[in-house]
Amino acid sequence: MAKRVLAILLILFLLTSLQVVFADGGMSGFDCANALKVIGVFKGTDKGFELDRAPTRLEGLIMLVRLLGKVETANNQCFPDSGFSDVPVWGVNIVNYAKAAGLTNGISANEFGSNLNLTCQDYATFLLRALDLSKQSSWQTAKQDIVQLTEVNQDDIPNGTFLRRDVARLSYKILQSDTVNGEMLLKKLVREKAIDQQSAALIEQLMSNSTTIDEQLMSNSITVDEQSMSNSTVTKDDSTATPATNISAYEQAVFELTNAERQKHGIAPLKYASANVDNYADVRTDEIMTLFSHTRPNGESSLDNFKDIRTAGENIAKGQTTPEDVVAKWMNSPMHRANILNEDFVYLAVGFKNNHWVQLFYTPLNE
């Protein structure tokens, strides 16, 4: 149940924050990865999404099985051993299922090629199998066929190295594509109960860009990829340095009210953020007075300013006149409540100015 609620919360965030991306003609690989994460199709590692890393063949096959909604089948039923000697223990069930289902033959009789880089040609072949369109295509023509037969556009096909961000983008497009029977894959997964109806409905709204959400209540809770933070100004040392001392009375009240809510639910209190992060909360408060969004005025994500952290999140609000009012509104919004009660967060910085409010939650990699 908790996973389903968190999935819905992240979809709601996407609905509020990605509409401009749709207007520009497509979602970024990061946006697609986030959307896929909430339905259990795309998962990161302990380093985050690692979108700029080349995926392996085993990772590609796992994505295929998730898109087919067959992960539970693979893990809960017994299938003949694949005969491949190069599959790690954690991937054996998936590979055994895929071999038995005719989804893969490996690179030889006894090797799957688990650690070899996945090519766009390979993954396009996998995705066409997910739609049961493999009879209308071949490995040699898969990149061309996926453009002709699905919602994938030519611009979605990378010219250079095939990366995990490309996996996310193509997979997201395939969810919108029809199977050989004319049924959208997303709807098929719902019918087969691989995805719950409510999350799927929100995904469809995101796809159609038909939803409008009250701007005054938005939240963001994501796992941040350490490798994507090279332009960061908040360093590892800064994020665990001496706590801030220049906290206003209203900011202090929000901090205490937040911890009071965590205490009610048996969750450890948050610690004061470093002075550097606290200053950034003040910067974000000024920024949301100009652009009320998790995207900064310079076009970066609000969480791009962190480095060497395990996870981070942001709550923003405007219009509330007291700490009690804003915390109550956040607690009555499932999206904000999830951040406030997130057991993974350790530190909190609060910003306030002219009835604009910011909460920055984070946990460094070393904690």
DSSP assignment, residue 182? S
Find the mean pLDDT for residues 286-313: 83
Would you state the pLDDT for residue 35? 74
Hey, what are 36's tokens? 């896929």
Would you state the pLDDT for residue 207? 61
Residue 6 has pLDDT above 80, yes or no: no
Would you state the pLDDT for residue 206? 58
Nearest to 336 by CA among 351, 316, 362: 316
Hey, what are 231's tokens? 């332009």
Residue 111 has pLDDT above 60, yes or no: yes
Find the mean pLDDT for residues 359-366: 88
Residue 242 pLDDT level (bands cut at 50, 70, 90):
very low
Distance CA 46, CA 120 (A): 25
Would you state the pLDDT for residue 27? 62
Q: Which long-range contacts (CB under 8 A, 24 or more apart) does 173-179 make?
A: 174/67, 174/127, 174/130, 174/131, 174/150, 175/36, 175/41, 175/67, 175/203, 176/151, 176/207, 177/131, 177/149, 177/150, 177/151, 177/152, 178/131, 178/150, 179/131, 179/132, 179/133
Would you state the pLDDT for residue 55? 93
Residue 358 has pLDDT above 50, yes or no: yes
Instruction: Give the tens place of pLDDT for each residue, 221-230.
Output: 333 333 232 2
Length of the chain: 367
Residue 314 has pLDDT above 50, yes or no: yes
Instruction: Give the tens place of pLDDT for each residue, 42-86.
Output: 877 666 778 889 999 999 999 889 888 888 899 999 999 999 999
**What is the SS3 assignment for 362?**
strand
- Residues 199, 11: contact at Cβ < 8 Å? yes
Hey, what are 59's tokens? 């990772």
Would you state the pLDDT for residue 222? 36
Residue 333 pLDDT level (bands cut at 50, 70, 90):
confident
Cβ-Cβ contacts under 8 Å for 50 (sequence gap 6 or more): 44, 164, 225, 227
Cβ-Cβ contacts under 8 Å for 125 (sequence gap 6 or more): 134, 137, 139, 142
Find the mean pLDDT for residues 115-135: 91
Residue 271 has pLDDT above 90, yes or no: yes
113-117, 146-150, 250-254, 308-312, range with the lowest pLDDT: 308-312
Q: What does each C-alpha distance from 308 to 53, 129, 143, 175 come to in angstroms?
A: 18, 38, 37, 33
What share of the chain in percent tops pLDDT 90?
Answer: 39
Would you state the pLDDT for residue 324? 94
Hey, what are 366's tokens? 């070393």
Find the mean pLDDT for residues 152-169: 90
Instruction: Give the tens place of pLDDT for each residue, 83-105.
Output: 999 999 999 999 999 999 988 88
Residue 190 has pLDDT above 90, yes or no: no
Residue 176 pLDDT level (bands cut at 50, 70, 90):
confident
Find the mean pLDDT for residues 201-227: 43
Opening angle at CA 322, ends 319 and 325, nearest 5: 75
Would you state the pLDDT for residue 267? 92
Would you state the pLDDT for residue 205? 62
**Token match 């969810």: residue?**
175
More confident position, 24 or 338: 338
DSSP assignment, residue 274? B
Residue 216 pLDDT level (bands cut at 50, 70, 90):
very low
Nearest to 164 by CA among 63, 59, 30, 55: 55
Provide Rg for the chain, Cα atoms. Answer: 22
Would you state the pLDDT for residue 110? 92
Distance CA 237, CA 239 (A): 6
Residue 234 pLDDT level (bands cut at 50, 70, 90):
very low
**What average pLDDT does the chain have?**
79
17-31, 108-122, 177-191, 325-339, range with the lowest pLDDT: 17-31
Would you state the pLDDT for residue 46? 64
